[in-house]
Structure 1
Amino acid sequence: MNLPDNIAGLIKAQNDLNSTAFAGFFTAEAQVSDEGSSYSGRDEIKQWIQQASEKYQMQLKPLDYTQNGPAAELTVEVSGTFPGSPAVLQYHLELDGPLIRSLRISG
């Protein structure tokens, strides 16, 4: 599967457990929604993904990707040390050029 550079980079950053690189793929005012919580801006996004990665050692495997203008959907298999691993999740993205403006994760 051919992924855009920014999406491939986001997955690589997650799999490398590199929260700084992960947050760098978002706009300064980006919003993330996951498991009923919201995170705003790169600092909060970095803290969120760092805590989740340390706790669950999450690894992403892309299964499908579609994009229509700035709206994109990435289907990933997420594995780690959480109950029910692996799980298939949907990443609903709103892109702003090469950066991500919003990410909503659903299962």
Structure 2
Amino acid sequence: MPKIVKAYFDAEHRNDPDALAGVFSTEAIVKDEGAVHRGPRAIRDWWVAAKERTHHVTAPIELAGSDDKVSVRARVSGDFPNSPVTLEFAFTIEQGKIVELEIG
């Protein structure tokens, strides 16, 4: 697993929104549940709101891809219908930062 992707999941596991936001480039976007969040501040706010709403926990299961395109299948459980679910986290990486993450 690329270091920056591991840092994302480590921050998620520690419930550390500042560390999580820090893995994204200044122009990064996250696509989740039909919405697009742009920039580290908006990404941080999205993550905090989702965590408060669902109290979710994410556990990586499987990794595919390499270098600048990495896909991680993860088990996500929390206070939401049909929990737990397996979701795909599709990361695009440039210059050691995440520039795009699509969750689906």
Q: Is TM (by shorter chain) over 0.5? A: yes
**1:6-62 CA distances to partner (integer Å, 9 max, x unpaired)?**
222211211222111111110011011000000000010000001101111111111
Name which of structure 1's ranges 28-37 and 91-100 shifts more when overlaid on structure 2: 91-100
Q: Which amino acid aligns with 2:36?
A: S
Q: What does residue 10 of structure 1 align with?
A: 8
**Identity of aligned pairs, percent?**
28
Q: What does residue 28 of structure 2 align with?
A: 30
Q: What does residue 41 of structure 1 align with?
A: 39
Of 62, 77, 80, the residue aligned with 2:78 is 80
Q: Does 1:54 align with 2:52?
A: yes
The runs of 4+ residues in structure 1 deviating greater than 2 Å are none
5+ unaligned residues in a row in structure 1: which ranges? none
TM-score (norm 2): 0.93
Quote the RMSD (CA, aligned, Å).
1.1
Distance 2:101 2:84 in 1: 20
Distance 1:78 1:20 in 2: 21
Determine if contact 1:31/1:101 at 8 Å carries over to the other structure.
yes
Counting matched residue pairs gives 104
Distance 2:15 2:81 in 1: 19
TM-score (norm 1): 0.91
5+ unaligned residues in a row in structure 2: which ranges? none
Distance 2:2 2:57 in 1: 19
Q: What does residue 100 of structure 2 align with?
A: 102
Distance 1:7 1:29 in 2: 17
Of 68, 89, 96, the residue aligned with 1:91 is 89
Name which of structure 1's ranges 60-69 and 35-44 shifts more when overlaid on structure 2: 60-69
